[in-house]
Structure 1
Amino acid sequence: MSKEFASSPESPRKRRRGAELEAALLEAAWDELRAVGYERLSYEAVAGRAGTSRPVLYRRWPTKRELVLAALRHQAPPLPDAPPDTGDLRGDVLALLRLVVRRMRELAPVREVLAAEQGQAPELSVYLASRNQGPGHDWMRTVLERAERRGEAGAVDALPGRLVSLPVVLVVHELFMARRTPDEAELEEIVDELFLPLVMRGRGPRS
Structure 2
Amino acid sequence: MIADHVHPGVQALAEALERHFRTDVPANLYASWHPTEAFGIHWDDHDTVIVQLEGAKRWNLCGATGPDPLRLDVEAPEKPEGPSLAEVALQAGDMLYVPRGWWHAVAATQGRPLHLTCGLPPATGHHLLVWLAGQLLHFPTLRANVVSEFAASLDACDPGRPAPSLPHIGDVPADPGLVLALTTARAELEGTDEAAVLPKTASTSTQN
The TM tier, using the shorter chain, reads: under 0.3
Higher helix share goes to which structure?
Answer: 1
Higher strand share goes to which structure?
Answer: 2
State the TM-score, normalizing by the size of structure 2.
0.22
State the TM-score, normalizing by the size of structure 1.
0.22
Question: Radius of gyration: which is bigger?
Answer: 2
